[in-house]
Structure 1
């Protein structure tokens, strides 16, 4: 008999505010939310974009010169892969037996990156990735990823991939993910608090639609965590009434969608912290794929094709001069050409 079983699991999207610019406080809150999820039978929990130590909202509120007051603190509280702080989350995942999709500001050397990590229920780092192109003024804070960051990994839960925020509005990046048979997608968002009513493309309607279309277009489950802006964050950054109007508190719109685009789980009020939880059955994907598989039977590679370059970009490639072969004659040592010697 053929194996017709498909993974069924409970997943959660986080809707909460970080302990802003406080790496230790945010990791404490991360572990608390992981424990809440594990206590409700959740197998995979997804956190918002740059959850640790929070999204740098000041870049949208004023000039780069004004925002410099936050730069050192943001660097100091960003997460280094392999650090003791990173290991705290891995240890909690192992103890709680839960998979974690973590959004964080990654500090690597002197640069920051918008990053995501997938950690399994044994505490192993399955994947780390970086946002390929920071959006708009984010480029004053973060560096870029590369094609190696468009990757879907095979896991016991299913094939899992991740993107951040407006990567969900990049058609070619989305197609690269669909083509890797993605089944569960962790789509991280910061908060929909900015320029409310003045910039529709930054609002919850358009951005949740992007998550929903991703699910229907790629025929996969989408877990879309979304942070909130707390009053403490507003008090720190919104130092005048004008800034308070630009960045509202709340803005949480965490969602989960099925492979046909259907909403799953119970949404929270935009200023409420908690988890959006849903039970998913990967068997539903075959029904959605029967209608249209964009990189399979519904594709036309004779007309359009995507070139995906997964080569990791390295700013420094070390080349060393090979050591001389000690067994070779002295006259043939490295860098020496043999010479004809005439007898006197």
Structure 2
């Protein structure tokens, strides 16, 4: 790994509710980043097939057709769309972090896939807890989704959207010596009139992550055009009432919170680039390392359980279940005893 790493943050509009067309656009953007010499390119939350704006645009009883369409355009983790994206990463020798609505049987998850430059899956994770209205559409991840991985660009991690406001979730990432963090955000041009959801608040949240973690933070966001806002129309065909315009705020923060990229206009599609040196992390952590020398383990500690949690356990899963704690093992053993006695 060279001393300097070129990272890229995507600021673009998905082809709303169109899995195939957004996959094609993803590949074009990977090719563009590869041609620009990027070692890492990061895409927004639920980039494929676009953030489900209908959740905030219509009452629940009117969302049925939108839900069906969203399911139909959500890729599986091992489906042809993700395989094509992995091939694009391999062809460009680039690490890719892509957000997508993952379809798994009858459920959807707000997922991110970390793909290495040989097209290998470094990590496939799910948003631990969907936010507010998102919980009516998406399932939850588990502790196995809070993992920082070794990659060709360094210790790499990713979170989605309001996961950056979960103190314990963030601390779990900091404690794993994260060096490059991908912050996947939806379009910040919806619900901007709500202070807690405003671009200003969410940008400050991302900057805080860089400050606390002393990591490089790659912030990627969707945008929404006036035409895109009419994909979720009002009764008279106007743009969705939650649309507040643009929404693109892609950037890269250094470990000392310096902004390392030139801002694009919030309505403009593009990719922003930064050349970074991981050695800068040492200086930042010398000032502040909440999971290291600035921690007080005698007073506060985090318990992190990274064992996958599944709704069904079979005997062959017992060894893995033991890693999740004695309570699960005791429960499994009691059920097995009941079965044998019956």
Task: Normalising by structure 1, report the TM-score.
Answer: 0.89
Q: CA deviation at 1:240?
A: 4.4
Are the counterparts in 1 of residues 192 and 199 from structure 2 also a CA contact under 8 Å? no
145, 158, 161: which one pairs with 1:162? 158
User: Which residue pairs with 1:310 in the alignment?
Assistant: 306
Whether 1:226 aligns to 2:221 is yes
Whether 1:16 aligns to 2:12 is yes
Could you tell me how far apart the structure 2 residues matched to 1:281 and 1:72 are?
A: 45
82, 101, 124: which one pairs with 2:120? 124
Q: CA deviation at 1:157?
A: 1.1
Are the counterparts in 1 of residues 115 and 123 from structure 2 also a CA contact under 8 Å? yes
| Residue deviations 1:244-286 (CA, integer Å, cap 9, x gap) | 4421341111121000011111111010000111111100000
Whether 1:285 aligns to 2:249 is no
SS at match of 1:226: strand
**Runs (5+) with no aligned partner, structure 2:** 317-339
Whether 1:97 aligns to 2:89 is no
Could you tell me how far apart the structure 2 residues matched to 1:181 and 1:88 are?
A: 31
Moved more, 236-245 or 93-102: 236-245
Q: CA deviation at 1:213?
A: 0.8
Could you tell me how far apart the structure 2 residues matched to 1:59 and 1:28 are?
A: 25
User: Which residue pairs with 1:330 in the alignment?
Assistant: none
Q: CA deviation at 1:7?
A: 3.4
Larger radius of gyration: 1
User: Which residue pairs with 1:273 in the alignment?
Assistant: 269
Q: CA deviation at 1:238?
A: 2.5
Could you tell me how far apart the structure 2 residues matched to 1:304 and 1:142 are?
A: 32
SS at match of 2:130: coil
Flag as ranges the 4+ runs of structure 1 deviating above 6 A: none
SS at match of 1:163: strand
Q: CA deviation at 1:227?
A: 0.3
Whether 1:140 aligns to 2:136 is yes
User: Which residue pairs with 1:201 in the alignment?
Assistant: 196
Matched ranges for 1:225-264 at <5 A: 225-240=220-235, 244-264=240-260
Are the counterparts in 2 of residues 44 and 100 from structure 1 also a CA contact under 8 Å? yes
RMSD: 1.6
Are the counterparts in 1 of residues 190 and 245 from structure 2 also a CA contact under 8 Å? no
Could you tell me how far apart the structure 1 residues matched to 2:235 and 2:114 are?
A: 39
User: Which residue pairs with 1:327 in the alignment?
Assistant: none
Moved more, 243-252 or 185-194: 243-252
| Residue deviations 1:163-189 (CA, integer Å, cap 9, x gap) | 000000000000000000000000100
Could you tell me how far apart the structure 1 residues matched to 2:42 and 2:235 are?
A: 34
Are the counterparts in 2 of residues 14 and 46 from structure 1 also a CA contact under 8 Å? yes
Could you tell me how far apart the structure 1 residues matched to 2:239 and 2:137 are?
A: 20
Q: CA deviation at 1:232?
A: 3.3
Are the counterparts in 1 of residues 130 and 140 from structure 2 also a CA contact under 8 Å? yes
| Residue deviations 1:6-55 (CA, integer Å, cap 9, x gap) | 73211111000111111110011001111111111111000000000000
Task: Normalising by structure 2, report the TM-score.
Answer: 0.90
Could you tell me how far apart the structure 2 residues matched to 1:194 and 1:231 are?
A: 12
Q: CA deviation at 1:71?
A: 1.1
Could you tell me how far apart the structure 1 residues matched to 2:37 and 2:188 are?
A: 28
Q: How many residues align?
A: 317
Q: CA deviation at 1:150?
A: 0.4
Q: CA deviation at 1:86?
A: 1.0
Are the counterparts in 2 of residues 7 and 158 from structure 1 also a CA contact under 8 Å? no
Are the counterparts in 1 of residues 41 and 95 from structure 2 also a CA contact under 8 Å? yes
